[in-house]
Structure 1
Amino acid sequence: MKLFYSSLFLCLSLVTLCTEHSQAQSTGSISGSVKTSDGNAASFVNVSLKETRKATTTAEDGTYQLKGVSPGTYTIQVTFVGLRTQEKIVLVEAGRATTTDFSLSESAIQLTEVEVTGNNKAVTLGKATLAPLDLPQMSGVVSSVVIANQQASRLGDVLKNVSGVSLTQQRGGVAETFSARGYSIGIAGAGGSIFKNGVISNTMGFPEASTLESVEVLKGSSALLYGNVSGGLIINMVTKKPKFERGGEVSMRFGSFGLIKPIVDLYGPLAKNLAFRVVGTYETANSYRDVVKTNRVYVNPSLLYKLGQKTTILLQGDYLKSDLTPDNGIGSLNQNQDAIIPNVPRSRFINTPWAYNKVDQTSGSINIDHAFSNTWKLTAIASAQGTGVSAYGAGVPNNNVSATGDWTRTLSRTMTRENNATGQVNLNGRFSTGSIGHQVLVGSDLVGIVSQSTAYTVNYGVGKTSYDKINILNPGLYEARTDIPDATATTRTTSPSTRLGVYAQDLISLTDKIKVLAGIRWSQQRTVQTTILNMITQAETRGTAETKLDAAFSPKVALMYQPTRMTSFFGSYSNNFTINTGVDIYGQILKPSIVDQFEAGVKNELFNGRITANLGVYRIVNSNFAQMAPLKADGTANADANVKEFTGQTTSDGLEVDLTGNFSKNFFFITGYGYNYMRYTRTSLIKGSPIEGERLTNNPAHTANATIFYTFDLPQLRGLKLGASAFYTGNRFGGNNNTYGQTPEFSRLIPLAGFTTVDVSAGYTYRKVSILAKVSNLTNTLNYLIHDRYSIMPIPPRQFVTTLSYRF
């Protein structure tokens, strides 16, 4: 399969390179630039010929090019959501290039205000900044306008606006895990799928979403550009950038359970070629959960320097200090070994009252963009991030709470550190071979991750092996301890890993209607042998796991048919790979599993892009799912779960629908629906193997979202804003998947019913002052987010939040 698609890619390249040069002599071209009224580049604006279907979008520097235009007189049209359409008459001659520039009546700020309400902006996470209709996979963009209108603070609040994506777990109340297309997206690590400004990011302690410019999502496999990432989706958080116009906003947010959150956003020029921006927030709050408290500080400074006309240098940094109360939810009762959700108040807290989880995170990056010409650009990125976590509290109530609610608590003291470093170089260019256009991307990236984990022993007291006993159903039954025992650091384990990738991609415009996207990546991931430091003797030893080197090719090929410049049908094949642990029956380290994905869909931009309507279907098959081998190499029975073979399979089928509208900056709506069926489709009938046909946990069959906001322009109601949002998460399983021959033989699944939450908002703006209020979970719906079988977290009840802002 991989050889076939690689050969197809090479054949397509040869065909385009062999196109007769005479085609270029019989046609002409049109190129130019589009700028705003204040002289800034107008990126991602639609440029088309009124008499034909030829169309394109401007690049980031505002330039455009239309190739292969037959001689004649045409009307060239510039359009964008919310902009005044502009037209010019041009004469095209054979073998000659015609230059036509446009100046919009809107300023850069006005253009930004229009852009951020829409969903038709190119997803910058794709590295090649393809136009939405040229991207052969489903995607989503949640803008700062949506984030502000919904008064979202957490990444999970934002991603509810993307079809098929759901928040399925909250790990100990200090991190979020998402599900998409049957796959979980974790917080960090070598296989992390959450990025900030295009580089890998650790999201422990919750990233600050309220200060973001946007959140971008690429669904399905993105291994071509990012290597070992989830087959479900890629998430990119885009921070706010400096501006050369002075301005800013200060706001104060108040809410239920003592929420106080000031937010400051300041930007402007420091010199002719130098601009700054500083975004920051402080948050303090209690919770609907007893004892739980939050204290957070976040600061995001940035500088933008224009080094001449062709080069820009962007420096960005951020700092997060988070002090959260760790919270494993309400626990579960083990009745006949089944996990039962206890009937207790939503506020019931079962950790120790002194438990803490402290996160310190610092990151910095430099982006250098250099335009060699209007069609070729080089981007270089270097970044680093350090995340430290110090936590102490009760261990997880995992299968050790009795049917009557008794739980003997032990304590868990942890200290971890993760340092990430990324280097990335991308070359983007556009050229033609005859009448065939190319938009190419060639690049390489290197990611280094060093993780440190310190282990502790806890001194419970003379003769004691546990902390205390409580009853989660009746807290007054036993007297709980309140002291904080000493914990002694014993060992510190350091685990380095690196990811290296080289990739190339070409968007080939065979005709005005037919395009091909083809590319391939070679990835190498190196997991270095761990080192273990004895914190008492200071002696250092090597871990037992050997250094592991994994490599894989990740091809992608897609065919697009665009019958009009507003509609695109696409079909694609791509794959991604997952790293496996364990060895085969011959003692060799397991190779990565290759996961194949097939996707087809249609995208529409209607009414000049004011409405987008997209539909996609997919199948993701891991036919190399590693599971425990039934026999050893000598034919005897295997009882070692670390000895595996590639005989299993999982299959994920699904559908996603998006319908968004942006009739003006006063009115927008977002709707989406996702269906997924992720299950084991082939397994061994031996003890320890998953049950064939069983759905994987934490994957809702159905999800849906709908949001609408309207700001009145009528004289009597001018400045009044009304909005509403509804989010549905369907039936799913929490807990753990079952295995053949498991002990005990009771189901480990925790069935969860579907639920809907409804939020309503109202606000008013007078000149530079605005106030916005929201009631979330209006119906006070009760449901749960579950991690494994222990972190059973009730969703938040009905709450109130309001934000008072001043913009200058």
Structure 2
Amino acid sequence: MNKNFTFLLNFIAFFLFLTGNIMAQSKNGSVSGSIKTSDGNPASYVSVGLKNTGKTTQTDEKGNFTIKNITPGTYTIKTSAVGVSAQEKSVTVVAGETVNADFTIAESLSQLDEVAINGYKTPNRKPVNLGKIAIAPMDLPQAVQIIGKQIITDQQVNSLGDVMKNVNGVALGANRGAVGENFFARGYSLGSNNIFKNGARTTIGGSPEASTLESVEVLKGSAALLYGGVTGGAVVNMVTKKPKFENGGEVSMRTGSYDQYKPTVDLYGPISKKIAFRAIGTYENAGSFRDFVKSKRFYINPSLLYKVSEQTEVLVQGDYLKSDFTPDFGVGSVNNQIVDFGRDKFINTPWAYNKTNTTTAQANLTHKFNENWKLNAIGSFQAYNRNYYGSERIQANAAGISTRNLSRALSKEYTYNQQININGSFSTGSIKHTVLFGVDADQSRVTSNAFAYGKDAKGVNITILNYGNVNVFDPTTYYGSGIMPEAFGITSTLAPTYRYGAFVQDLIEITEQFKVLAGLRYTDQKNASSRALNLETGVTTPGATKFDDAFSPKLGLIYQPLKTTSLYISYANNFITNTGTDIFYAALPPSLVDQYEAGIKNDFFGGRLSANLTYYKIKNSNTAQTAMFDQNGNLNSNTNIKQLNGTTSSDGVEIDLTGSILPGLNLTAGYSYNFMRYTNTPDIIGMIEDVRLVGTTKNTANATLFYTFQEGAVKGLKLGASAFYTGKRNGGWNDAKNAPVLRLIPLSAFTTVDFSAGYNWKKFSLLAKVSNITNELNYFVHENYSVNPIAPRQFVTTLSYKF
């Protein structure tokens, strides 16, 4: 009773405070206006404040600002931002009225972009491209994280994996054969369906090039409403650099440990008053801390921006990546355990190769009907080819002896994406609506070949060939014969997939404090009949056609008691298509995923520090995994034969900190916890419950701090440090309750620390980094055969010149 009475008193006090505050505000006035650049574009995220009052705000993406609840009187309003000349105006505020104050700054939009790397814009106020509409994360009932070009440059990132280390709730689960990084978000694997480039799905097979990245946006949790066909973990959007209507560019040279050399050229400028271009090219040649492992990469990224009119623009961009590297499955396992016999030891065949080619093209049309309504249309194409040969599964016995069975792969993927999005705003009475309508489609055609390595005495194809046993403890056995056996194709399988979807979303602003985001999507997916062509007989064997469709709803409630604080709760549902068949070769039904999320987003110190907290719970009704036994009770090795293992639950917490509290000081930090496990599985043959799923990580944390001296004799000197913590996780396999032997491989936690130092002088910059200073040793594990050690202590430096 006492608790109820205390609660009632607190509620009455809060209500009286709120009522008094509202009455006080009605007696005050406000100031609003807009800020534009010298070339007439909106100046987004410029700080605006009343001097000597503590009242500050930032312009939105349209350059507009409003400062409310100002006591009547005369004030000086001041604008400020990094790289922007400060301006001041005198304004007189009258009770119950709004006074207008517009500014035009001397800098152009391009000049602001150039200095943004030294400044800070609160990510809670900056709309993300992943949202398909200009809604700031503060108004989204979902966790969002943006890794901007400041971090990308300061950390000298070389791959998407380097960027993702800064994203809480997303962790590298495995790096199978060093061929493809497998990220997990909130317990769910992020496949190619979850990775986007400029809003269109893309492959990460060749390891995306980082030199073209402007930023990386991560929309955590379910994004099925906007994209369909994605897992419940997150979607990742790589935003590339765009053309500019000013001449400029940058040349740089990066070099580092193990003979790494990487020159990069970035040129941009106008072709005419309406057309601008940009071209980015790079070449990389690098060795590795792993014996005999090397890579060569060539990349080019041209783009054109055509401003058809004030309302319409067309952006055409494409890129080509040739990435050739040594497939490396690490040190393998010994008797299902990880043994340190040297992280540099390379056990694949000496001639192993992996060659990839990725070509993309995209056209993006944006048309503004008026200030409130806009259309965006995207069409994209991607071709990805992979040519691979080597051995894979190093699974040694207790004596260290392992076979090296060969694996040959040749595949081609062609994917197409089309989408049309219309967004706008209107009011129904006092209620404001920000709506988004969209339709999209994806088509893919994947051709993969199976190979043989000769014929036996009966003329039957030899599909399993051991290159020769190896003793992992004896390097003299690694080389083998040195001869690459001839492999020839025996089947070529074409697998088409078609996906279509339509959705509607409405952000309803009931009051300035209470908002609702609601949406519904319908997705239809068709895995068309595959066609397996026997290359020797010419006979084609068709497969079954599978249809999946579902409605994916989303509902979020948002409460913003202050302009700088947003609290939300949300629910979302999506389905995940399960590939493969059950043990009786019947198609598997999709998994249905329910996600619940709650969070709070805060901006402090006038937007110079953002602190966000998120809690989530995700339930999956049907989780598929490779079946342990086939229909005859024998151990199954066919990864296309699967079993539905029942329900999984994924719970977690994420904390994000981002800010620039002092000029030149930039901070990014965070922590995440995740526990994904089976919670309801069949007796005997079901999976063991309450055991962390393979690939998921219990705890991750990161912190990056960079400071650039702003004045004095050391002006331009930059110092920085980054620390990355990866918690306990499991390799191997999750096991069934009737498994004769448990095959989990527990992996310990580890932390790596990097230190950076650099100097900016006029148009030159030099930045150096020592990574993994403590020379930590740990592993990323796929099953029990691709056991890849993390890199030891390394050095990298980049010299750049801007013009």
What is the aligned partner in structure 2 of residue 696 from structure 1? Answer: 693
What is the aligned partner in structure 2 of residue 361 from structure 1? Answer: 358
In 2, the alpha carbon distance for the partners of 1:88 and 1:614 equals: 36
| CA apart distance, 1:101 | 4.6
| CA apart distance, 1:257 | 0.2
Give, as a single letter, the amino acid of the residue that structure 2 aligns with 1:458: Y
Q: How does 1:587-606 map to 2 (within 5 A)?
A: 589-606=587-604
What is the aligned partner in structure 2 of residue 769 from structure 1? Answer: 764
What is the aligned partner in structure 1 of residue 567 from structure 2? Answer: 569
- Mapped contact 1:552–1:592 kept (Cα < 8 A): no
Q: Paired residues, what number?
A: 757
| CA apart distance, 1:542 | 1.1
In 1, the alpha carbon distance for the partners of 2:213 and 2:626 equals: 44
| CA apart distance, 1:78 | 8.7
Q: Residues 57 and 624 from structure 1, CA distance in 2 versus in 1: closer, same or farther, beyond 3 angstroms?
A: farther
Aligned equivalent of 2:159, options 120, 132, 154? 154
After superposition, the CA RMSD in angstroms is 3.4
In 2, the alpha carbon distance for the partners of 1:446 and 1:88 equals: 53
Structure 1 position 449 matched with structure 2 position 447: no
Structure 1 position 755 matched with structure 2 position 750: yes
Q: How does 1:74-223 map to 2 (within 5 A)?
A: 82=82, 84=86, 101-113=102-114, 115-116=116-117, 117-118=119-120, 119-120=122-123, 121-186=126-191, 188=192, 192-223=193-224
Q: Point out where structure 1 has 5 or more consecutive residues left out of the alignment.
A: 1-27, 631-636
Aligned equivalent of 1:343, options 332, 340, 344? 340
In 2, the alpha carbon distance for the partners of 1:449 and 1:471 equals: 42
What is the aligned partner in structure 2 of residue 685 from structure 1? Answer: 683
Q: Is the partner of 2:229 in helix, strand or coil?
A: coil
Q: Is the partner of 1:366 in helix, strand or coil?
A: strand
What is the aligned partner in structure 2 of residue 431 from structure 1? Answer: 426
- Out of 404-413 and 229-238, give the one that drifted further: 404-413
Q: Is the partner of 2:397 in helix, strand or coil?
A: coil
Question: Deviations along 1:80-125, whole A, 9 cap, x unmatched?
Answer: 764647668599999x999875423443234324545545122111
In 2, the alpha carbon distance for the partners of 1:90 and 1:219 equals: 44
Structure 1 position 246 matched with structure 2 position 247: yes
Give, as a single letter, the amino acid of the residue that structure 2 aligns with 1:316: Q
Structure 1 position 296 matched with structure 2 position 293: no
TM-score by length of 2: 0.88
| CA apart distance, 1:447 | 0.8
What is the aligned partner in structure 1 of residue 392 from structure 2? Answer: 395
Question: Deviations along 1:349-396, whole A, 9 cap, x unmatched?
Answer: 000111100001100000000001111110000000000000011132
Give, as a single letter, the amino acid of the residue that structure 1 aligns with 2:715: R
In 2, the alpha carbon distance for the partners of 1:329 and 1:645 equals: 29
Give, as a single letter, the amino acid of the residue that structure 2 aligns with 1:676: N
| CA apart distance, 1:697 | 1.1
Q: Residues 48 and 643 from structure 1, CA distance in 2 versus in 1: closer, same or farther, beyond 3 angstroms?
A: farther
What is the aligned partner in structure 2 of residue 3 from structure 1? Answer: none
Q: Is the partner of 1:340 in helix, strand or coil?
A: coil
Give, as a single letter, the amino acid of the residue that structure 2 aligns with 1:790: Y
| CA apart distance, 1:739 | 1.0
Q: Is the partner of 1:224 in helix, strand or coil?
A: helix
Q: Residues 184 and 487 from structure 1, CA distance in 2 versus in 1: closer, same or farther, beyond 3 angstroms?
A: same
- Mapped contact 1:148–1:210 kept (Cα < 8 A): no
In 2, the alpha carbon distance for the partners of 1:478 and 1:726 equals: 36
What is the aligned partner in structure 1 of residue 491 from structure 2? Answer: 491
Q: How does 1:250-265 map to 2 (within 5 A)?
A: 250-265=251-266
Q: How does 1:39-50 map to 2 (within 5 A)?
A: 39-43=40-44
In 2, the alpha carbon distance for the partners of 1:359 and 1:130 equals: 37
| CA apart distance, 1:411 | 1.1
In 2, the alpha carbon distance for the partners of 1:214 and 1:653 equals: 28
- Mapped contact 2:173–2:696 kept (Cα < 8 A): yes
In 2, the alpha carbon distance for the partners of 1:246 and 1:649 equals: 57
Q: How does 1:390-539 map to 2 (within 5 A)?
A: 390-397=387-394, 399=395, 401-459=396-454, 465-477=465-477, 480-539=480-539
Q: Residues 441 and 382 from structure 1, CA distance in 2 versus in 1: closer, same or farther, beyond 3 angstroms?
A: same
- Out of 730-739 and 99-108, give the one that drifted further: 99-108
- Mapped contact 2:30–2:93 kept (Cα < 8 A): no
| CA apart distance, 1:606 | 1.6
In 1, the alpha carbon distance for the partners of 2:187 and 2:584 equals: 32
| CA apart distance, 1:711 | 0.9
Question: Deviations along 1:311-368, whole A, 9 cap, x unmatched?
Answer: 010000000001100000001112xxxx111221110000011110000110000000
Q: Residues 30 and 442 from structure 1, CA distance in 2 versus in 1: closer, same or farther, beyond 3 angstroms?
A: farther
Q: Residues 584 and 402 from structure 1, CA distance in 2 versus in 1: closer, same or farther, beyond 3 angstroms?
A: closer
What is the aligned partner in structure 1 of residue 227 from structure 2? Answer: 226
| CA apart distance, 1:644 | 9.1
What is the aligned partner in structure 2 of residue 324 from structure 1? Answer: 325
Give, as a single letter, the amino acid of the residue that structure 2 aligns with 1:355: A
- Mapped contact 2:684–2:737 kept (Cα < 8 A): yes
Question: Deviations along 1:461-498, whole A, 9 cap, x unmatched?
Answer: 98994221211111225871101111111111000001
- Out of 659-668 and 235-244, give the one that drifted further: 659-668
Q: Residues 99 and 460 from structure 1, CA distance in 2 versus in 1: closer, same or farther, beyond 3 angstroms?
A: farther
Question: Deviations along 1:182-217, whole A, 9 cap, x unmatched?
Answer: 11113x2xxx10000010000102001132101111
What is the aligned partner in structure 2 of residue 735 from structure 1? Answer: 732
Give, as a single letter, the amino acid of the residue that structure 2 aligns with 1:755: F
What is the aligned partner in structure 2 of residue 783 from structure 1? Answer: 778
| CA apart distance, 1:738 | 1.0
Q: Point out where structure 2 has 5 or more consecutive residues left out of the alignment.
A: 1-28
- Mapped contact 1:69–1:92 kept (Cα < 8 A): no
Give, as a single letter, the amino acid of the residue that structure 1 aligns with 2:353: Y
Using the aligned pairs only, state the percent identity: 50
- Mapped contact 2:349–2:478 kept (Cα < 8 A): no
Q: Residues 650 and 429 from structure 1, CA distance in 2 versus in 1: closer, same or farther, beyond 3 angstroms?
A: same
Give, as a single letter, the amino acid of the residue that structure 2 aligns with 1:758: V
Q: How does 1:602-641 map to 2 (within 5 A)?
A: 602-625=600-623
Q: Is the partner of 1:348 in helix, strand or coil?
A: coil
